[in-house]
């Protein structure tokens, strides 16, 4: 039999085929979008610390990944035989196909989302928590945009697969492209010509939507974005009023009472007691593994306390007890008074510099509109980053990112700021610009606790310095008292060793 090219080409304008194309687009897009939303919730559920929720979500993924779509289609379409009251809905082939495909694809998409969630660095979650952003807000503002960008290439590939899987709905007599073709070639026996047209229609859908979704992927890729340097609105004021009103009365800003922390069998913090008064600058030094970072992370709840209590502004803030509704409210209110600057910056990469700084005030409804933008620009000017307000974090140097992180920590006007080794991730030539900002805050009377290896800086800026070793505060003294210690003492050797490490290498 001679291949009928004229007939094959005539099928490209065949109305029933184009109706089937529209049906395939509706079915594949609807089931894809449903599975994206449901799959994300399922992926979160699998990570839940509540075991029944995690078990149900894992069971769903296991079951529907194991069940062939063809079997599921037939079962859903014939469900009215078991439950007659569902007949008015499931007897409609489109709805039956949509539900079956959505149920099946959600299991696969959940695993794609799980990979995307795993790609969001833990520091992003900690940064959001330190800003007082709740679980749902954290997922919406921080996790979902980043996880979705990571997962999008795989999600696009899944959509392409779903377009082709729509051919299976012909088993429940839904007139998609393949079924239209089958009905034609059973009448005229021109199988190859008809299947060529079927293939062209599928390739057309995949090509068009593949191009559109690739465009969306590029638009959502924040690593491709380039923020401009603005010199107009960024220059709000050369002289910025200090964020915090100085109160030098000897009132406790934060207190740690008998803090104990274990990581497994390792006792990291052993009965730490600390009182920091308003306006004090406390530096925490000591060898690696001495518990410095663990201490500062327990003060704002990033690490759970095994025993003891943290009081903020003389009010209960954190304890080892099970959180009641009242204690949770105290924590959520108190966390807004504590700013946190991380070692690795932990800026939100999908947001501009200005958006990083204004996220918390906007989320907590402190400011909005022009006032919010002016507040953010004022803080950026304060740290010397006003001209970079509309750039993205990946366009900045490490020192610039850390200065933005300091501005973000100040955005909620906290009563105390915690610094977790703010210069350890920086190149030596960038350290100075960050230390100068911290020094300015100290002069303004900001209450600060700084974990640092910069000994000379600690001696210069601190009211008191804690020397930690083995999970305890071995010494709590003024810089002058440390300078008076013998050079051959344990602390003297540590201080001299740190200074030698910071000296430039000689040829």
Q: Decide if domain 5-220 falls under CATH 1.20.1270.30.
A: no
Q: What is the pLDDT of residues 259-289, one digit of tens each?
A: 999 998 999 999 999 999 999 999 999 998 8
pLDDT at position 84, please? Answer: 83
The mean pLDDT of 455-460, rounded to a whole number, is 91
Mind giving me the DSSP string for 74-98?
A: HHHHTGGGT-GGGHHHHTSHHHHHH
pLDDT at position 324, please? Answer: 55
Fold match between domain 5-220 and domain 252-501: no
Paired tokens of 235:
């220059």
pLDDT at position 229, please? Answer: 54
Of the listed ranges 189-203, 436-450, 491-505, the least confidently predicted one is: 491-505
**pLDDT over 50 at 50, yes or no:** yes
Domain residue ranges in the chain:
5-220, 252-501
**In this structure, how many other beta carbons lie within 10 angstroms of the beta carbon of residue 10?**
12
Average pLDDT of the chain, as a whole number: 88
The mean pLDDT of 1-12, rounded to a whole number, is 89
Q: What is the pLDDT of residues 210-228, one digit of tens each?
A: 999 998 888 888 777 766 6
pLDDT at position 250, please? Answer: 64
**pLDDT over 70 at 235, yes or no:** no
Nearest to 169 by CA among 61, 20, 66, 38: 20
| 394: DSSP letter | G
Q: What is the pLDDT of residues 88-144, one digit of tens each?
A: 777 888 999 999 999 999 999 999 999 999 999 999 999 999 999 998 999 999 999
Beta carbons within 8 Å of 231's beta carbon, 6+ residues apart: 387
Nearest to 56 by CA among 76, 69, 66, 42: 42
| 336: DSSP letter | G
- Give the integer Cα–Cα distance in Å for 76 and 90: 7
Could you tell me which CATH class the domain 252-501 is placed in? Answer: alpha beta
pLDDT at position 164, please? Answer: 92
* pTM (predicted TM-score): 0.83
pLDDT at position 270, please? Answer: 93
Q: How big, in percent rounded to 5, are the helix, strand and coil portions of the chain?
A: 60, 15, 30
């Amino acid at each position: 039999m001679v291949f009928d090219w004229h007939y094959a080409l005539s099928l490209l304008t065949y109305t029933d085929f184009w109706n089937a194309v529209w049906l395939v687009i509706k079915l594949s897009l609807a089931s894809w979008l449903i599975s994206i939303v449901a799959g994300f919730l399922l992926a979160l559920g699998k990570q839940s610390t509540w075991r029944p929720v995690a078990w149900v979500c894992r069971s769903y993924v296991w079951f529907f990944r194991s069940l062939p779509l063809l079997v599921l289609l037939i079962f859903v379409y014939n469900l009215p035989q078991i439950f007659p009251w569902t007949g008015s809905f499931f007897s409609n082939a489109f709805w039956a196909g949509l539900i079956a495909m959505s149920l099946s694809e959600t299991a696969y998409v959940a695993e794609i989302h799980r990979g995307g969630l795993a790609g969001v660095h833990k520091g992003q979650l900690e940064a959001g928590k330190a800003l007082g952003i709740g679980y749902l807000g954290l997922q919406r503002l921080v996790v979902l945009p980043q996880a979705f960008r990571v997962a999008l290439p795989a999600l696009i590939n899944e959509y392409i697969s779903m377009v082709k899987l729509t051919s299976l709905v012909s088993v429940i007599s839904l007139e998609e492209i393949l079924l239209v073709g089958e009905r034609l070639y059973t009448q005229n026996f021109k199988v190859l010509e008809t299947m060529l047209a079927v293939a062209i229609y599928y390739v057309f859908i995949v090509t068009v939507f593949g191009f559109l979704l690739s465009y969306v992927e590029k638009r959502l890729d924040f690593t491709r974005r380039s923020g401009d340097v603005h010199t107009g609105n960024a220059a709000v004021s050369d002289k910025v009023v200090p964020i915090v009103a100085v109160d030098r009365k000897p009132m406790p800003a934060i207190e740690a009472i008998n803090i104990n922390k274990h990581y497994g069998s390792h006792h990291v913090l052993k009965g730490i007691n600390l009182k920091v008064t308003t306006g004090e600058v406390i530096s925490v030094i000591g060898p690696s593994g001495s518990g410095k970072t663990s201490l500062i992370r327990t003060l704002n709840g990033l690490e759970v306390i095994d025993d003891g209590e943290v009081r903020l502004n003389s009010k209960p803030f954190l304890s080892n007890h099970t959180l009641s509704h009242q204690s949770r409210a105290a924590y959520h209110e108190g966390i807004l008074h504590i700013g946190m600057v991380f070692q690795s910056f932990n800026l939100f990469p999908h947001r501009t510099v200005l958006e990083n700084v204004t996220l918390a005030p906007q989320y907590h409804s402190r400011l909005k509109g022009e006032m919010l933008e002016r507040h953010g620009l004022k803080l950026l000017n304060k740290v010397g980053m006003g001209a970079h307000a509309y750039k993205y974090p990946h366009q900045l140097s490490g020192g610039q990112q850390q200065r933005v992180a300091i501005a973000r920590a100040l955005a909620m006007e906290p009563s105390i700021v915690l610094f977790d080794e703010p210069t350890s991730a920086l190149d030596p030539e960038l350290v100075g610009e960050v230390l100068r900002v911290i020094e300015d805050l100290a002069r303004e009377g900001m209450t600060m606790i700084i974990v640092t290896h910069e000994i000379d800086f600690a001696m210069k800026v601190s009211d008191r310095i804690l020397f930690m070793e083995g999970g305890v505060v071995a010494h709590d003294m003024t810089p002058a008292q440390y300078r008076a210690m013998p050079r051959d003492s344990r602390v003297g050797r540590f201080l001299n060793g740190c200074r030698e490490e910071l000296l430039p290498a000689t040829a």
